[in-house]
Structure 1
Amino acid sequence: MWISDISIKRPVFAVMLIGALVALGWLSLGRLGVDLFPKVEFPVVSVETRLEGASPQTIESELSDAIEEQVNTISGIETLSSTSSEGRSSVVIQFELDEDADAKAQDARDKVALAQGEMPNDAEQSIVQKIDPDSQPIMSIMIAGDMPIRDLTRFADKTVKEHLQRISGVGSIRVVGGRDREVRVWLDAVKLRSYAVTADDVISALRREHAEIPGGRLDTAGLQSEFSVKTMGEVTSVVEFGDIVINFRDDGLPTRIRDVARVEDGMEDRRSYAELDGKPGISLEVRRQSGRNTVEVAQAIRTELDGIRALAPPGVRIVSARDTSKFIEAAANDVFDDIILGVILVIIVTLAFLLSFRATLIVAMAMPTALISSFFAFYVMDFTINMMTLMALSISVGLLVDDAIVVLESIYRKLDEGHPPMEAASLGVKQVGLAVFAGTASVCAVFVPIAFMEGMVGRFFFQYGMAITFSVLVSLLTSITLTPMLCSRLLSEAADKRENMGRVARFFDDGYVMLEQAYKGLLGLALSYRWIVMLGAVGTVMLGVMVARTLPIAFDSSSDRSEFLANVDLPFGTGIDQMRTIASRVARRLSGLDHVTTVFYTIGADAQERVNEAEFYIAVTPKADRDVGIVALMDAVRAEMKVSAPEAQKVSVTEVPWISGGGSSNFGINYAVSGADLGVLQQRTDAILARMRASGMFADVQSSFEAGKPEVQVAIDRRRAADLGVSMRTLAESVRALVGGTDVTTYEEFGSRYDVRVRLEEDQRNDVTKLEMIQIRAADGRLIDIA
């Protein structure tokens, strides 16, 4: 072979060629990202739309149906599903795998824009985005301290969050458990009646008297300058909101906001909560940008947190409650250790059979050369260091020495025939070159098709198949360049495979002789009883097929990560205070279990912001430090949660998912039951649930269906309203402002703006009988009781 001859005659060429690949591979290794799995993009698009205060039935008919009707016309849809909950519609569109996710996301945006015109005017703008399989938070940062929750929220939002968002690779950060400052205008229904004022009058006054409007430009010819004109009409303190005049009474005296309402410099309603090991605080759920290195981003976050702690007020603690990068690092390091151990074992076995340090050195050079050089191909192909590529490299360790051993043995044979080292090296490679190429081609023929399999599995195994292909191709190049060059320099003309190794050589020689004799005897028996050997071989194959059919099949294997997740759901409509009480009780009980080291839970942290569900993260002692399996611990936690939360409607314990998002859940099996009649659908679903639970084969069997909250419905007499000149919108907005509250304007202080919210006093809005005191203004100006 010409390249082999060049390498033998010009050793610098071979050394520089392989050295360049190794150097590029080594440099690339430091630039490769580290992640659990390859970056895989699925063509799944979500559409999120909100309509504050609307019931699930209203959300379905007004939002979800309108969106589904429009997006259903997009080509290439595999599944289309929607979830309608209180105030929120979520539509998930899963396209066929060969579709382009970006193009389909744009198609969905165009269709949703058409559906937006069919929605109620109060509906927020729909958010259309691709679903990232790695959309789960990579880190949860807990902030706690002996200071008011409003000040702690400001520190978390304005200091910690802003510092973290500057880090390259950090995506969205969600604050859980915080309560922002808010100016509250608490209306008194009794005073409103006595002063003949409605909620709409108060809202109009706030918008009218608290305004800052640009006045244009002022040109001064003498000064040759231009000034902007702005009317300073905003109040400068919270107290001044009470001085705003609503109207003037018949006696000429003004009615001010403080006459009918109580102005409070308060906080927004609590809609989320976080607690770590029994200590409440604020959690920052940090997500990385799509495609960024999880470990690298997490390391940058930990470094930044060290600096942020120096800025924290006295008594404030900042700790990491959950860090997924630590498991990824540990898993990658374990595989790296396995690869190193494999290389060492291969070298030992090679030495044991070749009984030559020089020959072993020549063969051993192929492994690190191929492994390190493969990282350059990873970098060019935009691969990462993940479980699939590392598994490929660990499998290829044994394959990498095959070509080198074949070439080495051929060169030894030529040396034994009396050829000089350089001539023996050239003749040896030429004699087995075709065989070496054929062997490498056969390996590529096996693993390249794996890389190009179709479907979801093919996308995950692409890097796996290509990684093995890269490594064996570099091994081939090494075996026909570096190996013959080293043989021509390191092996003597009077070659003897077994150098003077004394007793070790004699021991292995005796073993080889015994093995050879045993093999000859076995081979003689096989040739004498051919049919028995054939029947035995066929039987073994059939037995293997039968056993293989009994083995469980799964996309990924269960792994003991020393961490898992749990959920406790209370009936729909449960308030956050009750949920917090029960969740805290569960957390205390779980903390007392053996091997449990961390219990971290949040309420209202999911995409639906459900306050009737608590999500738990439970960390246990490392696998090496306990004698109990992770499944047994999960069962113990599940049993304890059911005992400590008898009010719970649902309790589930699941492994931390390898891959999240893509419209899937963390459960092993999901069934979709569909139908036109909601009542019949619920009956059939309940029957299925009962049979699955009675079978004893399943754990955490539950349905996604939730009954709506109890409602107080305001039935409108349309004829009477029309006679009085009261529109449906005016009436509905008045009820919403008084009961649910409405953000009217904003208040600025020290460069930050805070919402100003109008709402009825709590004791009045929570009493159904007092809601009848609400008044609205008719077309002629009269005040009309809503009842």
Structure 2
Amino acid sequence: SLSSDQLPEQQLNDYGNNFIRTQLVTVSGAAVPVPYGGKVRVVNVDIDPDALYARGLSAQDVSNAILTQNVILPAGTVKIGTREYDVATNSSPEALADLNRIPIRYANGATVYVGDVAFVHDGFNPQTNLVRRDGRHSALLPILSNGSASTLAVVNGARQLMPKILAGLPSSLKVDFLFDQSVFVRAAVTGVIHEGVIAGCLTALMILLFLGSWRSTLIVITSIPLSILTSIIALRLLGQSLNVMTLGGLALAVGILVDDATVEIENNHRQLHLGKPLRQAILDGAAEVATPALVATLSICIVFVPILFLTGVGGALFAPLAMSVVFAMLASYLLSRTLVPTMVLYLLAPEVRAREAREAVGGAPPRRSLFGRISDAFEAGLHRLTGTYEGALDWALEHRTVVLLVFGVFAIASLGLSPFVGRDFFPAVDAGQLRLHVRAPAGTRIEETEAYFQRIEDYIRQVIPAGELNVITDNIGVPNPINLALSDSVTVGPADGEILVALKTPHGPTAQYLKRLRDELPRRFPDCEFFAQPADIVSQILNFGLPAPIDVQVTGPLAESEKNFQVAQQIAADLRRVPGAVDVHVQQILDAPRIMVDTDRALAQQVGLTQRDVAGNLLISLTGSGATTTNFWLNYKNGVSYQVVVQTPQHRLSSLDALHRTPVAIAGQSPQLLRNLADFRRTVTPLSLNHYNVQPVFDVYAAVQNTDLGSVSSRINGLVAKYTKEISGASSIVVRGQVQSMNQAFLQLALGICFAILFVYFLMVVNFQSWLDPLIILMALPGALAGILWALFVTGTTLSVPSLMGCIMAIGVATSNSILMITFANEQRHPEFGGHDARAAALLAGRTRLRPVLMTALAMLLGMLPMSLGLGEGGEQNAPLGRAVIGGLLVATFYTLFFVPLAYSLLRRTPPTNFGDEHGHE
């Protein structure tokens, strides 16, 4: 933001465009459009229509004179004697006042100069874009990140360069950074890191309690950062940056990364308790879990594969998250097969030797510390839990049919929650910013629009407490076309504008303030139309540059535009009655006021004029000569070339009579007043024309409030079907925006999940050499899906792309736990381990694998707990992911511990025959 108590608005724009912007573009990754607001500095040649008419001249004559006599052309060089001289002419005056001395015409022994019919001065173009900051006129210079550039890097580069730039500018110029998106990005990244750290600490504490050994815990928590570091290196090699999504994936992976190392160590402890030496216990434990752990790891990785093939913004956002999880998982598996056994050999050796020494002499165990006593109590409690679980599982095996039926009915009945769990593309993020678009009656001049904005801004200050309000910025009117191409602005005229509100931290819920403004502003200002636009960077990306998440497009041939516009208005009227639909409006305005000048071509021809002469003179008088020909004057003091604009000053065109008296002429002829050549009438005109695939399009925009996007989308589909019957076959009605992206992403993810489950099944078929065992393993998945639905329903969370990500994660982890359960059950069927029948093997597998299953599940649940709360800046984005994982894994764990053993005992009547190949036993 550029403001000053002393400098005029044209200098604010000039400094922003020609001195600050030209240096900011050197920041790597920065794209800097021209400034908003201020007044574009030019050399004004303000013509006097009466003086022109009195001297037989027109605006075109003045423009031609300046165009031919104010030129910047080199003359060349000349060689005289021993020297070579550069030759220059006074083709362009050095002093601005000298432009008044340019001759226009010589007649009757007298020369008419520009100064006789015009006033040349340092001025500005008529203002079409006005920026106010807290009620004061200013200029706004946007800084965008270009392509894949880091937002933080661009902002830091701009901030570092700004003091150097300001050192060469007047001290009265004040520059402030407003609406800094890096603040939100930095806070969101910090929040994700904090969530990961908290998750890691909670997980480490849980492992410490379960293993009862700080040495074993150290081994596990050492493998986690190494896995994360490996993933970061892989992401860097693929050109990915550390952002909210990649860090979110790493935070998500913390709970899973525990699994590989924990299973390895827990199995080593079990081998040690069987009386084996440490080295042999490590080798046997590693051989026992290597293959099932690999299958479990690959199963989790496979379920993330569909995300890599997501298209659109969903793929751009979540593919890096999926890659970070997959790379961390693969690294964790490799470390658990290499580093973890090595650390176990060296770190657990003292504990093993101390225990063996006590057993050799029959001595009593040493006095336990406080933690030792806590660990003993936890171990005793876990032992009681194991006994209780074994009894419950034994009872369930006795009543297998009833229990299986209950589990099945629960999973099927939970599907009934689907209609009550809404659908959104992405959850809303509270970035502490509001962006309100205000549209005054069509044709309102920018000065009157500013008055509207002042009154609206005063009311906003009544709604939002002063202690929470940081800054209010108004951006009124149409900016430079370059800025329109680089923003999602839908401003179409001087009656349009945006109010940007930034809140301080902490602040109340932004959605509540927005709801109150939506309710009250139309009532207080019935002449204006209001709708909110995405303010934060995430929402802007998700909307693909559209001003609203819902865009109903009515497209058709030009001949049917009138009918299609009526249909668009009818759709908007019906859509306003849909519960939850807000900010409904038709973007195109077709009734802006116009004054039509109907030239009598025959009459003009009689006085030697053509339609082109009339239009050209009128264009120069009203818009300026810059619209037809460009001419520049070099300011030798600051080195900037400013456009020279011949134009009738606005204060001389404040009435219809002044327009009538516009002189029209061509060189060598006496001018004619415009009223003598044309008739004038009032009519209307479109303010903007939009096209889609060449054809005219009318956009019905809408947003949602207090509901989900999916429910509103369903109602919109009904409206589309209704009004499609009322348009011709050459026209069409299509719903675009987030609705279209959401439906595509949901379809892609649903198909991807189905294929992922199929791939996981075939992977397990290859590993188990059985079609039945993988089917039993996948029987935990209905429980995961039921848990996800219950978690979303209870927490009031909608089904979105992040929650589907959580669904994928829950499926992977549930499959992983079930693989370990069935693998151990199959081992117990082997004669080497007793040759148990299916029921006994299921019971033994449940009792033995209870600890690792609980450790994996609790590690994941604790790891997801900070994320599910969504407390950090932008935490709302990943909260559905955490909640889906917690709900899915919570229920899936019960299915793994009960439903899977019951199904195994029922379906696996005959023992497997490929023990050696399957489990690594010779």
Partner of 2:98: 240
Partner of 1:565: 435
Partner of 2:648: 760
Alpha-carbon distance in 2 for matches of 1:145, 1:763: 25
Match status 1:771 vs 2:628: no
Contact 1:563 1:620 (8 Å CA) reproduced: yes
Q: How many Å apart are 1:784 and its aligned residue? A: 4.1
Equivalent of residue 397 in structure 2, options 527, 532, 556: 527
Contact 2:257 2:332 (8 Å CA) reproduced: yes
Contact 1:591 1:598 (8 Å CA) reproduced: no
Partner of 1:733: 616
Contact 2:105 2:112 (8 Å CA) reproduced: yes
Alpha-carbon distance in 1 for matches of 2:471, 2:420: 38
Partner secondary structure for residue 131 of structure 2:
strand
Q: How many Å apart are 1:340 and its aligned residue? A: 0.7
1:267-666 equivalences in 2 (<5 Å): 267-308=124-165, 310-454=167-311, 456-492=313-349, 493-494=352-353, 500-501=368-369, 502-592=372-462, 593-594=464-465, 595-604=468-477, 605=479, 607=484, 610-622=493-505, 625=506, 628-643=508-523, 645-652=525-532, 654=534, 656=536, 658-660=538-540, 664-666=545-547
Q: How many Å apart are 1:584 and its aligned residue? A: 2.1
List per-residue Cα deviations over 1:702-724 (Å, max 9, x = no partner): 11120243222222333344454
Bigger shift: residues 508-517 or 306-315: 306-315
Bigger shift: residues 508-517 or 478-487: 508-517
Partner of 2:790: none
Partner secondary structure for residue 173 of structure 1:
coil
Contact 2:132 2:474 (8 Å CA) reproduced: yes
Alpha-carbon distance in 2 for matches of 1:659, 1:259: 57
2:400 maps to a residue whose letter is R
Contact 1:215 1:231 (8 Å CA) reproduced: yes
Alpha-carbon distance in 2 for matches of 1:647, 1:779: 48
Alpha-carbon distance in 1 for matches of 2:22, 2:219: 55
2:470 maps to a residue whose letter is T
Equivalent of residue 172 in structure 1, options 23, 32, 44: 32
Contact 2:442 2:593 (8 Å CA) reproduced: no
Contact 2:181 2:537 (8 Å CA) reproduced: no
Contact 2:56 2:669 (8 Å CA) reproduced: no
Match status 1:684 vs 2:567: yes
Alpha-carbon distance in 1 for matches of 2:572, 2:113: 59
Partner of 2:755: none
2:383 maps to a residue whose letter is V
1:666 maps to a residue whose letter is P
Structure 2 unaligned runs (5+)? Answer: 357-364, 485-490, 678-922
Alpha-carbon distance in 2 for matches of 1:309, 1:301: 12
Equivalent of residue 553 in structure 2, options 672, 675, 684: 672
Alpha-carbon distance in 1 for matches of 2:355, 2:31: 63
Q: How many Å apart are 1:732 and its aligned residue? A: 1.2
List per-residue Cα deviations over 1:540-588 (Å, max 9, x = no partner): 2112222134211122101222222111111232221111122122223
Partner of 1:84: none
Q: How many Å apart are 1:643 and its aligned residue? A: 5.0
Alpha-carbon distance in 2 for matches of 1:539, 1:293: 50
Contact 2:44 2:646 (8 Å CA) reproduced: yes
List per-residue Cα deviations over 1:179-212 (Å, max 9, x = no partner): 2332222222222222112222222221232234
Alpha-carbon distance in 2 for matches of 1:298, 1:191: 53
Partner secondary structure for residue 666 of structure 1:
coil
Partner secondary structure for residue 715 of structure 1:
strand
Bigger shift: residues 563-572 or 383-392: 383-392
Structure 1 unaligned runs (5+)? Answer: 1-140
Bigger shift: residues 473-482 or 765-774: 765-774
Change (3 A) 1:695 1:148: same
2:282 maps to a residue whose letter is A
Contact 1:183 1:754 (8 Å CA) reproduced: yes
Alpha-carbon distance in 1 for matches of 2:151, 2:253: 26
2:621 maps to a residue whose letter is L
Change (3 A) 1:683 1:150: closer
Q: TM (normalized to structure 2)?
A: 0.66
Contact 1:176 1:274 (8 Å CA) reproduced: yes
Which is helix-richer, 1 or 2?
Answer: 2
Q: How many Å apart are 1:741 and its aligned residue? A: 1.7
Partner of 2:583: 700
Partner secondary structure for residue 266 of structure 1:
strand
1:45-60 equivalences in 2 (<5 Å): none
Contact 1:563 1:656 (8 Å CA) reproduced: yes
Partner secondary structure for residue 147 of structure 1:
coil
Bigger shift: residues 369-378 or 611-620: 611-620
Equivalent of residue 201 in structure 1, options 61, 65, 80: 61
Partner of 2:758: none
2:645 maps to a residue whose letter is R
Alpha-carbon distance in 2 for matches of 1:520, 1:413: 18
Partner of 2:824: none
Alpha-carbon distance in 1 for matches of 2:383, 2:581: 57
Q: TM (normalized to structure 1)?
A: 0.76
Partner secondary structure for residue 665 of structure 1:
coil
Partner of 1:188: 48
Q: How many Å apart are 1:785 and its aligned residue? A: 4.2
Partner of 2:903: none
Alpha-carbon distance in 2 for matches of 1:200, 1:506: 99
Q: How many Å apart are 1:663 and its aligned residue? A: 5.2
List per-residue Cα deviations over 1:78-116 (Å, max 9, x = no partner): xxxxxxxxxxxxxxxxxxxxxxxxxxxxxxxxxxxxxxx
Alpha-carbon distance in 2 for matches of 1:276, 1:775: 41
Alpha-carbon distance in 2 for matches of 1:216, 1:321: 49
Alpha-carbon distance in 2 for matches of 1:234, 1:506: 95
Contact 2:653 2:659 (8 Å CA) reproduced: yes
List per-residue Cα deviations over 1:465-521 (Å, max 9, x = no partner): 211110011101110111111111122345869995542233113202220221122
1:313 maps to a residue whose letter is P
List per-residue Cα deviations over 1:433-463 (Å, max 9, x = no partner): 2122122111112112332345553343321
Alpha-carbon distance in 2 for matches of 1:412, 1:518: 22
Match status 1:747 vs 2:633: yes
Alpha-carbon distance in 1 for matches of 2:635, 2:188: 49
Partner of 1:149: 9
List per-residue Cα deviations over 1:211-268 (Å, max 9, x = no partner): 3433333133x31x43333322222222222222211222x11122222223333222
List per-residue Cα deviations over 1:24-71 (Å, max 9, x = no partner): xxxxxxxxxxxxxxxxxxxxxxxxxxxxxxxxxxxxxxxxxxxxxxxx
CA RMSD of aligned residues (A): 2.6
